[in-house]
Structure 1
Amino acid sequence: MVDYGVFRSGFPDSPNFPFLKTLGLRSIIYLCPEPYPEANMKFLNANGIRLFQFGIEGSKEPFVNIPEDLIRDALKLVLDARNRPLLIHCKRGKHRTGCLVGCLRKLQNWCLSTIFDEYLRYAADKARVADQRFMEQFDISSLKQLPSSFSYSNS
């Protein structure tokens, strides 16, 4: 769990569907460009879950830019209470998901070292300096104030 009503994971498969159903999801934010599998779409449709897809390419290249506009648009969905509970995922739940969650943490006023610690817990030895640089440089000023339903760090 990222915060109240916000979850993260790697790509859910059919064995995960019963657990996902217990979360009462309203939305899924999918951060990959590949089409969502038919079995997953059937599950979403059967359970009234909306899919929001942001086609962010996965890249191991150090100078490939993460599209800031897509992360910003995805964050707006996360902040909108009408979309929660929601699940954020990419393929493994590490890099693209980690960047989106890291940018949410900036909105929650987390210090960078704590944001990076959380990112590293998921990415482990696959951590990318480019992801951390992106989170550090991401400008949150154009986003609305954090809704009161989210936790907020006073540090």
Structure 2
Amino acid sequence: MGDLNLISNQPQAADVSREGKLKPVMPEPYNKKASQSVEVTSRRNSLANNTSRESQTCTGRLMLGRPASTFHQPPINFSAVSEGLYRSSYPQTQDYPFIQSLKLKTIVTLVKKDLPDGYQEFIQDNRITHTIFDMTGTKKEDIPIDMMRSIYAVVSNRENYPLLIHCNQGRHRTGCVVGVIRKSTEWNVKRIIDEYSAFAEPKVREVDLKYLAEFELSSLLRPSQALASPVSARRFYRFALVVFLALLVFYPLSKFKVQEPHPRPY
């Protein structure tokens, strides 16, 4: 599994206002009532606009120095998550020229269905590694942790970059995976939910918000990895030391009593 700290923790669009000024980020935990308020709705709409602007800026950078005739529009909900890591909806035929400009090594697809016309040929021609995960789209149940572990192992590994992750619309399934990535880079819950909501509007799913708010990074570690981790090893040795000292203190002192020598007969 890739290093949890490999992904950049710099926000892409979540904390930039229309005037280009940084907005303060409040680290409050997720609150269901607050997420349904007019104030939060306003922030989501503003964030969606900022995200769209950031996506366009990223596209402009990618096309910098190229003739105007080679410019192509990105897929719906395209955005840079971090350097070399992108998200979007399912690429369609008209999106292939833009996708090609990213020089991708890997595409991670979070839905299993028939590939669009020419998609397999496009992937093969550009020597892209294509990994498909059959993630349910109804969200009637949580994402299986084994599936999220496998997805994260691919997406967090910089050897697979540049990498594009997508589902059908680039909203819910992609948003959950990106949210887990943000947690690994120590984004607070409010920022993660705001980013998810900006892409998921107008169909923000409460079950996804709950999943992101309650997701524990420790669950990404398999039991064998957790036992072998340096943190677990240090805890084991500390525990063993405490037990040893306790035995020294509470073990009956009589066991260590030295027998007094008997007097010698004259």
TM-score over 0.5 for the pair: yes
Counterpart contact for 2:107–2:129, Cα < 8 Å:
yes
Aligned to 1:109: 186
From 136, 142, 146, give the equivalent of 1:65.
Answer: 142
Q: Which residue of 2 aligns with 1:46?
A: 125
Cα distance in 1 between the residues matched to 2:190 and 2:166: 23
Aligned-residue offset at 1:4: 0.7
Count of equivalent residues: 142
Moved more, 77-86 or 32-41: 32-41
Does the 8 A contact of 1:28 with 1:87 survive in 2? yes
The 1-side partners of 2:176 and 2:109 are apart by 13
Relative distance call for 1:35 and 1:70 in structure 2 (3 A) is farther
Q: CA RMSD in A?
A: 1.5
Counterpart of 2:185, as a letter, is Q
The residue aligned with 2:135 is 56
Deviations 1:13-66 (A, max 9, x none): 01111111111100000000213335111100000001111000110x5x4222
Q: Report the Cα distance in structure 2 between the residues aligned to 1:66 and 1:79, rounded to whole angstroms.
A: 18
For 2:191, give the aligned amino acid. Answer: T
Structure-2 separation of matches of 1:73 and 1:134: 17
Q: Is the 8 A contact 1:27 1:87 kept in 2?
A: yes
Rounded Cα–Cα distance in structure 1 between residues aligned with 2:213 and 2:121: 38
If asked which structure has higher relative contact order (CA below 8 Å, sep 6+), I would say 1
Q: Secondary structure at the match of 2:198?
A: helix
Structure 1 residue 2 corresponds to structure 2 residue 69: no
Is residue 32–residue 91 contact of structure 1 (8 Å, CA) maintained in 2? yes
The residue that corresponds to 1:118 in the other structure is 195
Question: In the alignment, what sits opposite 1:148?
Answer: none
Higher helix share: 2
Say if 2:93 and 2:116, in contact at 8 Å, map to a contact too. Answer: no
**Aligned pair 1:82/2:166, yes or no?**
no
Gapped runs of 5+ residues in structure 1? 145-155
Give the whole-Å Cα distance in 1 for the aligned partners of 2:115 and 2:82: 25
Give the aligned partner of residue 97 of structure 2. Answer: 18
Report the Cα distance in structure 2 between the residues aligned to 1:7 and 1:130, rounded to whole angstroms: 24
Distance of 1:95 and 1:124 partners within structure 2: 10
The answer for unaligned runs of 5 or more in structure 2 is 1-79, 226-266
CA distance in 1, matches of 2:95, 2:202: 25
TM-score, normalised with respect to structure 1: 0.86
- Whether contact under 8 Å (2:108, 2:164) holds in the other structure is yes
Runs in 1 of length 4+ with deviation above 6 angstroms? Answer: none
Larger radius of gyration: 2
The answer on whether the counterparts of 1:103 and 1:138 sit within 8 Å (CA) in structure 2 is yes
AA aligned opposite 1:37: P
Q: Distance in 2 between matches of 1:56 and 1:34?
A: 11
Alpha-carbon separation, structure 2, partners of 1:68 and 1:95: 17
